[in-house]
Amino acid sequence: MKSVPLYLLFGFLGSGKTTFLKIILDRLGSKKRIGLIQNEFSLSRIESEFLNQSNIEFSLMEVSRGSHICLSQSEDFIPNLSNFIDREKPEIIFIETSGLSDPLKIIKLLESPLLEKLLYLSKLYVVVDASRFYHEVTFLKNTRNQIKHADTVILNKYDKLNRLESPEEIIESYNFKKIESWISNINPFADIIPTTYSDIPKEEINIISSEDFELQDENYFTTRVLTSDRNYSEEEITKLTPLLAGCFKAKGYILNDKNETLALRAENGNVEIIPYNNPLEKSEIIVIGEYDKISSLTNHFA
């Protein structure tokens, strides 16, 4: 049985998320059957009409009780998503969330018995307005948290950095290298793509398009969020490394017995573990892979 790759999309209203989705539909919709899941905000009808301008057929599921936490609190969401996948049979799925959503809470929904065999997390995107980056990262904990867990940060409205409205706005933080440094400090493994009108490069579209069920063996891919309050010795981390390498993907942060935080990423059998300069209260790792391999990792992580 093959699981469906899921792409999570975070960002505040006006950052360019819906434009990003329209570009995906325009360039990929003729090759893949795409399922879209959106929060039912007051502007959702306008956004849906905008997406329909792509002239590409897609399946849309709108989440009722529209709020930034409805995905993780609605009792209906999990069975409705399961039915949506069974009925529409999408080849890839995008979930568009709000700028206030907690990535780990949404990812943990994939652990549900109804969903764990149906889809797996392929990539987490965060779309940010480059001209408002300093404000969002400085004052909004949600944005920092989303960037911390992102695979790719879309630095949208990049062109505005060169034409801010007044001299007072031209501060050090509105410099691409400075913004890049901020993002890397929050998430050293995040890819950063500067865009105008969310126009991501062809290479990124190709990466999404190449995500294929054939990557999986007979066992389906599943997703787990591993968390722990304890600190891990160097020996324990060494034992975790080959288990991480056996996963399809893994990323996150782990506390060692010196009370230091380490950032980790595993992909294609390669594992990177580096020092992380920001304090964390607990270890958090997102793992994606075959069920039996993830189960073994989960047992060792406990």
What pLDDT, in 10s, does the model give residues 152-189?
Answer: 999 999 888 766 554 445 444 467 888 899 999 999 99
Q: Which residue in the block uniquely carries the two structure tokens 């865009």?
A: 195
**Range from 130-144, 168-182, 266-280 that averages highest in pLDDT:** 266-280
Cβ-contact 25, 2 below 8 angstroms: no
Specify the amino acid at residue 263. Answer: A
Q: What does 234-301 look like in DSSP terms, one character per residue?
A: HHHHHHHHHHHHTSSEEEEEEEBTTS-EEEEEEETTEEEEEEE-S--SSEEEEEEEEHHHHHHHHHHH
163 or 271, which is more confident: 271
pLDDT number for residue 204:
92
Q: Is the pLDDT of residue 128 over 50?
A: yes
Across all residues in the chain, what is the average pLDDT? 84
**To the nearest 10°, the Cα dihedral for 53, 54, 55, 56?**
-140
Give all strands of the β-sheet with 119-129 in edge-to-edge order.
59-63, 34-39, 92-96, 4-10, 119-129, 152-156, 191-194
How far apart CA 118 and CA 92 sit, in angstroms, is: 11
Cβ-contact 190, 183 below 8 angstroms: yes
pLDDT number for residue 74:
58
How far apart CA 44 and CA 50 sit, in angstroms, is: 10
- Quick check: helix, strand or coil at residue 155? strand
Cβ-contact 128, 11 below 8 angstroms: yes
In the structure, what pLDDT confidence band is assigned to residue 64 with cuts at 50, 70 and 90? very low
Please, what is the Cα angle at 177 between 176 and 178, to 5 degrees? 90
Q: Is the dihedral angle over the CA atoms 10, 16, 18, 23 positive or is it negative? A: negative
57 or 122, which is more confident: 122
pLDDT number for residue 216:
59
All residues at 6 or more sequence positions from 22 whose CB lies less than 8 Å from its CB, including other chains:
50, 51, 53, 54
Q: Is the pLDDT of residue 142 over 70?
A: yes
Cβ-contact 130, 160 below 8 angstroms: yes
What are the strands, taking DSSP E only, across the chain? 4-10, 34-39, 59-63, 92-96, 119-129, 152-156, 191-194, 221-228, 249-255, 261-267, 270-276, 283-290
**Range from 77-81, 95-99, 104-108 that averages highest in pLDDT:** 104-108
Rg (CA), the chain: 19
Of 51-55, 181-185, 273-277, the range with the lowest mean pLDDT is 51-55
**To the nearest 10°, the Cα dihedral for 215, 269, 223, 34?**
-40
Whole-model pTM: value is 0.88
Buried b (16+ CB within 10 A) or exposed e, 125-143: bbbbbbbbbbebbeeeebb
Q: Is the pLDDT of residue 45 over 60?
A: no
Over residues 146-150, mean pLDDT: 97
Tens digit of pLDDT for each residue in 218-265? 568 999 999 999 999 999 999 999 999 999 999 999 999 999 999 999
User: What are the structural domains, with CATH classification, of the chain?
Assistant: 4-213 (3.40.50.300), 218-301 (3.30.1220.10)
Of 4-13, 28-37, 71-80, 208-217, the range with the lowest mean pLDDT is 208-217
Over residues 98-127, mean pLDDT: 93
Q: Is the pLDDT of residue 42 over 50?
A: no
- Percent of the chain residues topping a pLDDT of 70: 80
